[in-house]
């Protein structure tokens, strides 16, 4: 009977049920992605499969430099076909998310024996730490190859940046696909309602900012801001992982570094946006909207971009300061209670020995009275009197 109960409890859930989809979502998504990849092998389905796998809207540009032979470069713009690429890499990011979860984070969770609330936050920080690290390295490599590190003017010179290299466009496609995949992951990971609002908030903000920078052809500026922000968030999630792992020697200094750099990053981001959008694009000659050329350099759009960035950074800074103040007050209250508790214990400890001394003296007096000859004689006389009666 026990064996039957165990086998009955470990049965697979019904097909197309919620539990079945949650448990096997990575396999289902990988099968869909494999169907698209296999389509590249057949001549009939190759045109359809290439819409998903390769980058679309490519242009061939002839470059001619002094004392060099003309070369042909393949650059890319954006269009409706990019939705197919975003969908395919959206599926790939879900599969990679499951791989990191199963082969890295789950093994660490078994060793740490975390609670359910800490388990969810540990998985969130682990996934984001891996993504931020890859995005920073990839973004820095792209900046070096594109020659963006030579001068800050690359953020606004040559606007509109409607034509992108393969690495730069692929970077933004992956960024959009990753942040879009985080929405169904809330369902797949069974995120609690208490944590759901906070996650949806920052996932939505990331998606809006990256898509807006991509569509407005502000990719150079968006790339720099993302690298700065990702670096700060990487330190935070590293400190969070060390905190859950009970390593205060690493978590405490990391939280301090994150707190200092967070404020600096907010100021740097606002300064770069004012410099690029306010002054750089404000002094440009092309001040008319041209959707075909990808030019959106007009005063209302510039004001909207700067207002949105300033409000977003101010909101993040306000949340950061309120959080730090709340933690400071909690720590002060905890230390005050900690100082008050030992005094109570000391008073109790002083009273207990005094009571014990009184009891000891009473016992000594009683024992002394019992051992005194008067008490003995008195006892004998009383006994003798009782016998006579």
**What confidence tens digit (pLDDT) does each residue in 15-62 have?**
878 888 888 999 999 999 999 999 999 999 999 999 999 999 998 877
Name the one residue in this structure whose structure tokens are 């049920």.
17
pLDDT band at residue 348 under the 50/70/90 scheme:
very low
Q: The dihedral of CA 276, 280, 281, 282: what is its sign?
A: positive
- Tell me how far CA of residue 78 lies from CA of 181, 281, 338, 375, in angstroms: 20, 21, 60, 112
Query: How many CA atoms within 13 Å lie on the side-chain side of 331?
Result: 6
How confident is the model at residue 67, as a pLDDT? 55
Question: Mean pLDDT across the stretch 104-111?
Answer: 91
307-336 pLDDT per residue, tens: 999 999 999 999 999 999 998 888 888 788
* Location of structure tokens 């720099």: 224
Instruction: For residues 93-100, give the mean pLDDT.
Output: 96
CB 132 within 8 A of CB 175: no
Backbone angles phi, psi at 66, to 5 degrees: -65, 140
Q: How far is CA 23 from CA 13, 110, 122, 153, in A?
A: 9, 18, 20, 49
For residue 378, the Cα-to-chain-centroid distance in whole angstroms is 87
Q: Do the Cβ atoms of 199 and 218 come closer than 8 Å?
A: no
pTM: 0.82
Distance CA 58, CA 51 (A): 12
Helix axis angle for 219-244 and 248-273, nearest 10°, is 160
Share of the chain above pLDDT 90, in %: 61
Question: What's the pLDDT score for residue 338?
Answer: 74
Residue 62's φ and ψ, nearest 5 degrees, are: -90, 125
- Which range has the top average pLDDT, 5-14, 235-244, 336-345, 368-377? 235-244
Cis peptide before 160 (omega within 30 of 0): yes
From 10-14, 107-111, 266-270, the region with the lowest mean pLDDT: 10-14
The C-alpha atoms of residue 304 and residue 383 are separated, in whole angstroms, by 110
pLDDT of residue 116: 81
How does the average pLDDT of the chain come out, rounded?
Answer: 85
111: its two tokens: 């060793």
341: confidence class by pLDDT, cuts 50, 70, 90? low
Neighbours of 351 (CB within 10 A): 10
Whether residue 203 contacts residue 128, with contact meaning beta carbons closer than 8 Å, is answered with no
pLDDT of residue 360: 44
What's the pLDDT at 368?
Answer: 43
Q: How confident is the model at residue 342 (pLDDT cuts 50, 70, 90)?
A: low
* Per-residue pLDDT at 9: 44
Does residue 3 surpass a pLDDT of 70?
no
Query: Given a cut of 70, is residue 190 above it in pLDDT?
Result: yes
Instruction: Give the whole-angstrom CA distance, residue 33 versus residue 18.
Output: 21
């Amino acid at each position: 009977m026990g064996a039957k109960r165990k086998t009955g409890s470990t049965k697979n859930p019904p097909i197309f049920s919620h539990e079945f989809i949650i448990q096997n979502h990575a396999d289902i998504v990988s099968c869909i992605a494999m169907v698209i990849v296999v389509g590249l092998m057949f001549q009939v389905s190759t045109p359809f499969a290439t819409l998903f796998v390769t980058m679309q809207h490519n242009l061939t540009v002839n470059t001619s430099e002094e004392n060099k032979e003309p070369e042909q470069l393949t650059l890319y713009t954006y269009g409706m076909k990019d939705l197919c690429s975003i969908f395919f890499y959206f599926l790939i990011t879900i599969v990679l998310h499951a791989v990191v979860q199963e082969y890295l984070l789950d093994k660490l969770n078994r060793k740490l024996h975390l609670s359910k609330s800490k388990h969810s936050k540990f998985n969130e920080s682990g996934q984001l730490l891996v993504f931020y690290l890859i995005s920073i390295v990839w973004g820095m490599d792209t900046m070096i190859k594109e020659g963006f590190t030579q001068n800050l003017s690359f953020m606004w010179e040559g606007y509109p940046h409607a034509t992108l290299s393969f690495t730069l466009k692929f970077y933004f496609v992956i960024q959009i696909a990753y942040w879009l995949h985080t929405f169904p992951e809330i369902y797949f990971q069974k995120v609690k309602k208490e944590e759901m609002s906070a996650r949806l908030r920052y996932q939505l903000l990331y998606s809006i900012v990256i898509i807006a920078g991509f569509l407005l052809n502000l990719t150079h500026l968006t790339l720099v801001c993302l690298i700065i922000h990702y670096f700060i968030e990487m330190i935070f999630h590293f400190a969070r992982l060390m905190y859950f792992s009970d390593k205060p020697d690493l978590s405490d200094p990391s939280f301090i570094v994150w707190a200092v750099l967070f404020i600096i990053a907010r100021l740097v981001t606002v300064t770069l946006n004012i410099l690029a959008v306010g002054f750089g694009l404000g002094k440009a000659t092309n001040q008319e909207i041209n959707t075909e050329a990808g030019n959106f350099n007009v005063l209302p759009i510039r004001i909207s971009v700067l207002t949105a960035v300033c409000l977003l950074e101010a909101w993040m800074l306000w949340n950061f300061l309120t959080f730090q103040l709340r933690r400071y007050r909690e720590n002060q209250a905890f230390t005050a209670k900690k100082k008050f508790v030992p005094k109570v214990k000391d008073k109790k400890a002083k009273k207990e020995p005094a009571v014990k001394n009184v009891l000891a003296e009473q016992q000594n007096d009683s024992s002394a009275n019992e051992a005194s000859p008067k008490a003995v004689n008195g006892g004998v006389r009383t006994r003798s009197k009782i016998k006579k009666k």
